[in-house]
């Protein structure tokens, strides 16, 4: 099973700042089959990025994904108030899908 470790656990920033979230895999994620999701309280997750760097339909271009192998990053430039939420990475390279434990992005 591929274990995904996200850091930091909590990130405190102000609107307008940039955010960098990390997702590290215990083994290489083949074909960069890694996705990022945003989740707000009481809501289902929302797809942001798939295949490590492809932005999902309707997602603002301030969200971008990068990385390969075992190290992946979600970058949010110019934080908007609605961006404060929990973010999860997910790998789908293995037949056993796994999620990271999440990064909470909170308003400073």
Q: Which residues sit at the interface with other proteins, rule CB under 8 A?
A: 1, 35, 37, 39, 44-45, 47, 49-51, 54, 56-57, 88, 90, 95-102
Minimal distance in Å, beta carbon 39 to other proteins? 8
Closest CA to 53 of 36, 66, 68, 35: 66
d(CA 71, CA 64): 14
Residue (62 or 102) nearer to other proteins, CB: 102
The SS3 assignment for 107 reads: strand
CB of 103 to other proteins, least distance (A): 10
Q: What is the 3-state secondary structure (H, E, C) of 51-95?
A: CCCEECCCCCCCEEEEEECCEEEEEECCCCHHHCCEEEEEECCCC
In angstroms, give the least distance from the CB of 15 to other proteins.
25
Nearer of residues 4 and 19 to other proteins, judged by Cβ: 4
Cβ distance to other proteins smaller for residue 66 or 101? 101
């Amino acid at each position: 099973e591929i274990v995904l470790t996200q850091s930091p656990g909590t990130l405190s920033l102000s609107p307008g700042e940039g955010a960098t979230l990390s997702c590290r895999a215990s083994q290489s994620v083949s074909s960069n089959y890694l996705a990022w999701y945003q989740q707000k309280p009481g809501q289902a997750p929302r797809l942001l990025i798939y295949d490590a760097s492809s932005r999902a339909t309707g997602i603002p271009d301030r969200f971008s994904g990068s990385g390969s192998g075992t190290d992946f990053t979600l970058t949010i430039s110019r934080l908007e108030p609605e961006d404060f939420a929990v973010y999860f990475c997910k790998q789908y390279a293995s037949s056993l899908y796994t999620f990271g434990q999440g990064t909470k992005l909170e308003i400073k």
